Structure 1
């Protein structure tokens, strides 16, 4: 895994992936919050953000009332972050547009999948027979269709839609899923390699 953050294009791509994934808006900036069980991955994000912003990233730890250990990253605001947050949160609401998706690079796509992607191995007659990928966007059908068109037209990957209650997410089958995982694998952090393993002789997992 070798991330390049030297160019503005790659910096935008990584930040776009972070915002589409676990990033949450905080006025003109954003923060990332997750369980401490993903600490290694969060520290990797902290390092990336410090390289991009050139400034230390605040890290805060605490436990919820239910006893869940949490970690929160708060990067310093820079002009590039302000612009991307404004483009994604139009009128204060997260809105997927082709313009924003065009900022993504393979590195950013890998981060998005590490945050929101999952895989499973459906069984038939007690045997694993397929690979299913999901990108858990949980957005409207219209916004997911924008994402589907982006991946097809820019990267040549065909995602389908899967309904989850009143919202939708992206779904991909075995052949296309293996191609996609091979595409992002060079940018997958060691702690997230389980998300790109494609052996079909194993139990279902995400």
Structure 2
């Protein structure tokens, strides 16, 4: 690859004559096409530029293993844990590998509590964790009515930014539907959630291990995604349609034991199960989650949006 690069411009020429700052990164394929060089060479310079912008005094040879860290918070946490100025390149490779493995088992080493709760609550609801080669990505979409809610989610997770929020349109049962959605960049930290939420067939599942991670904030986000408030009869339903009857029994048991709530398991259209909270339990549930409901989603607990 080096020979092909050098035959046209050379690595040093690219370093000296092009701005590979993060603002320009997304145009690197256009640049590689314009200069008739391998896109991987552009990726290499982008990675180097990203690392050196954060650690301007390290040797360039260390930028390659450090570029395997995906964002600035990782740089900061990794550098706090290891003295990268004293480490040899080979040792940095080894430690970065161990760091990535650690995040796949304990994502809160990197994520904030809010980010973790958002991923838990939203993946119980409308979000998906998709497998992409070795690592996974987070995707979620909402209707135009809930665009502010989607923007709230995006702002919490934006350091993993993929392509930003976009509008998608498709026909469903002959009708054009609009959805706003965002995809986050693939990251090994999302591998943890893929293993937590999905079985080997790629189906989303409910387990005790997953339910034990729910707290009032992640429950609030789950409610905003899947909950529905009946204004007339003053109760909340969780539209948990994709889960089995056995999984609903597990969810019901969890609500009883952890929250002292006793939802009933409903069945509709001869194929869908759901959870329904009685009026008194709905009041308890609302009091528990209200502090964590985004202002644009207050209608999910029977109140006016701000």
Q: Which TM-score bucket, shorter chain as reference?
A: 0.7 to 0.9
Does the 8 Å contact 1:131/1:198 carry over to 2?
Answer: no
1:40 matches 2:144: no
Number of aligned positions between the proteins: 185
Residues 1-206 of structure 1: matches in 2 within 5 Å? 8-27=112-131, 28-50=136-158, 54-58=159-163, 59-65=165-171, 66-91=175-200, 92-122=202-232, 130-138=233-241, 139-164=243-268, 165-197=270-302
Greater relative CO (CA pairs within 8 A, separation 6+) = 1
**CA 1:62–1:10 in structure 2 vs 1: closer, same or farther (change >3 Å)?**
closer
Gaps of 5+ in 1: 123-129, 200-206
* TM-score relative to the length of structure 2: 0.56
**CA 1:35–1:10 in structure 2 vs 1: closer, same or farther (change >3 Å)?**
closer
The CA RMSD measured in Å over matched residues stands at 2.2
Q: Which residue of 1 aligns with 2:43?
A: none
**CA 1:11–1:104 in structure 2 vs 1: closer, same or farther (change >3 Å)?**
farther
Question: Secondary structure at the residue paired with 1:30?
Answer: strand
Query: 1:113-158 deviations in whole A, cap 9, x for unaligned?
Result: 0010001144xxxxxxx42210010121110111111122122222
Question: Secondary structure at the residue paired with 1:68?
Answer: strand
More helix by share: 2
Deviation of the 1:8 alpha carbon: 4.9
Deviation of the 1:26 alpha carbon: 2.0
Query: 1:160-183 deviations in whole A, cap 9, x for unaligned?
Result: 111122221100111110110111
**CA 1:7–1:82 in structure 2 vs 1: closer, same or farther (change >3 Å)?**
closer
Deviation of the 1:106 alpha carbon: 1.3
Moved more, 23-32 or 93-102: 23-32
Question: Secondary structure at the residue paired with 2:160?
Answer: coil
The whole-number CA distance in structure 2 between the counterparts of 1:171 and 1:136 is 9
Does the 8 Å contact 1:9/1:103 carry over to 2?
Answer: no
**CA 1:84–1:132 in structure 2 vs 1: closer, same or farther (change >3 Å)?**
same
Higher Cα radius of gyration: 2
The whole-number CA distance in structure 1 between the counterparts of 2:273 and 2:139 is 24
